[in-house]
Amino acid sequence: MRMGKVWEIFPGMLSWGTLIAVIFLSWQRPVWIAIFIILFDIYWLLKSIYFSLHLRATFQKMKEHLKTEWREKLKIFAHWDSIYHLVILPMADEPYEVVRETFGRLRETNYPKDKILLVLALEERAGDPARIIAEKINAEFKNTFSNFLVTVHPKDLPGEIPGKGSNESWAAQEAKKLLIDPKRIPYDKILVSVFDVDTQVYEEYFGCLAYQFLVAEKPQRSSYQPIPLFTNNIYQAPALARIISFSATFWQMMQQSRPERLTTFSSHAMPFKALMEIGYWQRDIVSEDSRIFWQCYLHYNGDWRVVPLFYPVSMDANVAPTFWQTMVNLYKQQRRWAWGVENIPYMMNGFSKNSFIPFRTKLYWSFHAIEGFHSWATNSLLIFALGWLPILIGGGGFSETVLSYNLPNITRSILLFSTIGIASSAILSIILLPPKPEGIRWQDYILYLVQWALLPITLIVFGAFPALEAQTRLMLGGRFRLGFWITPKGR
């Protein structure tokens, strides 16, 4: 069996092996598992406290960065206005209202508009509806953005799967040919921001990005990661969708305070020169947003890092016309994110062929990548679902022990202390809400706090289950592999 296939099997085998082992040992060795569960719950408590501290630190920095006038700070650099921003907005079948809101926020940014190269990247398979929307957007905003390009990604090109990666690669090359080269813009003066078409930038985003680029230790060997806030339509989202949206935001906020482990996610930026040198985004994968980090990391022999911006961009929460359709879409979105596990075989194969990256560094990244996906698929099940198994199936001998009697009380007490982290997340989610629209009462905020009691359900149903499915599909391969699924957007 080739090594690539081994690493495709390994994450799923490890997750399923862990769960099966816990069930089997709860029957055969209940004392062992009871002790393991207590120790694991304590570990989870300490980890929750550790994450809460990082979350608080990032939140404080984000508040400071939002108050900063980055355009003014840029003036300490003599040639700050030589920095261009190429913005790529891949679009499929999103409605006009969503696209227009995005362009409206771009128009309000505090950066010279002639330094913004804007690309609305359509999919040919989206047909006339997408083309009509693009024409309306072009008519309204072409006078604001002099460097505005609409591209159409052809369907069914060889070696591609339909998705963001293939569309973004096409759009970037078209921008080079039609915007960048005719104006003779130096490639090393361009930063590429890749956004979903519902992504709305804050006023100082481009100034903040340019500043961090100019002060970075290795500006041409870095990606730049803003904080994703899924709040554009948060008041229309049901409780479970709100929890999942904020949970994704909080995870990325915690990662910003650990830049040594930070990889790119969703909306991010990078130097155009590096993007050209690695051959743009891969066209045959689903998780292009995280894969681009590993493409750069391996191409530059480990000389690549992600610079946290501590500055937000806002996107849509998952909302569908009906509650149950929203639940289905939430599951599919989480499964697509969990499909980032496809990067493990890519990373491990790259490490095996690269002799320039130190072995210790390879071991560090390998452990944290595998541990992260394993935790995603198993931790919530171990904490909230399987902790009672020794009592249920451990047999009469175990049920008569002191450990059996005290196990529920011990785990309950540990989890009770862990709710401190949940409470802090609930409060922070209220702070991060956008200005309330008409019809929202102050009493509604009580519900927004209480909804966090549903977190165990969301961690299992919309966390562990889609992660296990993604790892199982990767393990089985072939027709079970995931294609790109576009999260429906609407207002």
The pLDDT, as a whole number, for residue 448 is 67
For residues 303-311, give the mean pLDDT.
Answer: 97
**For the chain, percent of residues with pLDDT exceeding 90:** 66
CA–CA separation, 335 and 469 (whole Å): 7
Distance CA 328, CA 333 (A): 9
Determine if residue 123 is left, alpha or beta; phi over 0 gives left, psi from -120 to 50 gives alpha, anything else beta.
beta
pLDDT value at position 441?
Answer: 64
CA distances from 411 to 19, 24, 384, 452 (A): 19, 20, 10, 20
Q: Taking 60 as the threshold, does the pLDDT of residue 1 lie above it? A: no
pLDDT computed for residue 445 by the predictor: 64
pLDDT band at residue 165, thresholds of 50, 70 and 90? Answer: very high
- Angle between the N-to-C axes of helices 323-338 and 359-384, in degrees from 0 to 180, rounded to the nearest 10: 150
Q: Note the pLDDT of residue 302.
A: 97
SS3 assignment for 283-349: CCCCCHHHHHHHHHHHHCCCCCEEEEEEEEEECCCCCCCCHHHHHHHHHHHHHHHHHHHHHHHHHHH
Name the strand (E) or helix (H) holding 71: helix 70-73
Give the pLDDT band (50/70/90) at residue 442.
low
Task: Tell if the pTM clears 0.85, that is, is over it.
Answer: yes
- Residue appearing with tokens 């320039």: 356
Strand partners, 150: 120
Residue 313 has pLDDT above 90, yes or no: yes
Nearest to 315 by CA among 70, 138, 94: 94
What are the φ and ψ backbone dihedral angles of 311, each rounded to 5 degrees?
Answer: -140, 135
Residue 92 is classified by DSSP as: S
Looking at the chain, the domain(s) classified CATH 3.90.550.10 span: 78-331
pLDDT tens by residue, 377-411: 999 998 887 777 888 887 777 777 777 767 777 77
What does the alpha-carbon distance between residue 489 and residue 299 come to, in Å, rounded to a whole number?
Answer: 35
More confident position, 404 or 332 = 332
For 76-114, what is each residue's pLDDT tens digit? Answer: 999 999 999 999 999 998 999 999 999 999 999 999 999
Q: How far apart are the first and last CA of the chain?
A: 49
Q: Which of 5-14, 35-44, 115-124 has the lowest mean pLDDT?
A: 35-44
Please give the average per-residue pLDDT across 448-473, as a whole number: 88
Above 70 in pLDDT, residue 315? Answer: yes
* CATH code of the region 78-331: 3.90.550.10
476: its two tokens: 């089985």
What's the token pair of residue 100?
A: 């227009």
Give pLDDT, residue 427.
78
Mean pLDDT estimate for the chain:
91
Query: Mean pLDDT, to the nearest integer, of 3-30?
Result: 92
For 53-65, the pLDDT digits (tens) are: 888 899 999 999 9
